[in-house]
Amino acid sequence: MVLAAVLALAIIFADLRFNELAASRAMLSAVSLPFYWLTDLPSRISEWGEESVQTRSALREENGHLRTEAMLLKGQVQQMAALRAENVRLRALLNSSALLQDDVLVAELIGVSPDPVRQQIILNKGAVHGVYVGQPLIDAGGLMGQVIEVGSHSSVVLLITDVTHSIPVQVNRNGVRAIAEGVGKLDTLVLRHVSGTTDIEEGDLLVTSGLGRRFPVGYPVGVVSEVKRDPGEAFTTVRAVPSAALNRSRHVLLVFTGGSEEQENQP
């Protein structure tokens, strides 16, 4: 027993002093390396699986954020397109107001009559802004109607296409006078009592004649779309399309023609 201990100590001393067993240790290390790799493999597979799951979860979360951002950007693009179109309409409206000799007030449409029979709209301007009953309303295209009710901060406008509305007009080409009436459709006006010999054609522009002193002279009202002459009838059927965008305009102009109806009726 003592001899074995002495021999072991001698071997250890020789290895430490003369590095005699270096080759043996290197060979043993090379042989044992695959065993260490195999024994560590389950742990590394587990770590790889956890990293893979975490990476997939992170990717899903990132994809969700990206989809949300894409939807927001699309919404912003749509809003920008709407704002761009609205700016174009406002520029056209302001350009048309620059051509007018009358004072105007820009108003915004805030409501439409719920009654399908009545062609009425509600504006965000009222008595505090100087709005009065009978005041004409136009857009960039032409005449829209007239104010019939006035509140403090809002007003009601009767459109020219309402069945109760009529307006004196004249053919811009030759000055022929007629009465344009609404039929309850936003895209149609009719001219009443036009004789079969009247010089009026499709494509003629109808403008306000100024008769009745309600509307100033020369505002576009509509364009003749149909002229139907029947030899057996005393009058010609004439239809027109309103010049104003009655179903699209949002910003409009209230025209001041020299005072309110009450002021005009004063002696």
pLDDT tens across 250-262, in order? 888 888 875 444 4
In CATH, which superfamily holds the domain spanning 102-260?
Answer: Rod shape-determining protein MreC, domain 1 (2.40.10.340)
- Nearest-angstrom CA–CA distance, 125 and 109: 9
Q: Express each pLDDT in 12-26 by its tens digit.
A: 545 444 454 455 555
Whether residue 127 contacts residue 147, with contact meaning beta carbons closer than 8 Å, is answered with no
CA dihedral (156, 160, 166, 170) in degrees, to 10, reads 140
CA dihedral (16, 17, 20, 26) in degrees, to 10, reads 40
Residue 89 or residue 207, greater confidence: 207
- Nearest-angstrom CA–CA distance, 122 and 110: 6
Q: What is the pLDDT of residue 183?
A: 93
Q: Please, what is the Cα angle at 11 between 8 and 17, to 5 degrees?
A: 140
Q: What is the pLDDT of residue 104?
A: 80
Which of the 8 DSSP states describes residue 129? G
Domain map of the chain by residue range?
A: 1-99, 102-260
Kindly tell me if the per-residue pLDDT of 173 is higher than 70: yes
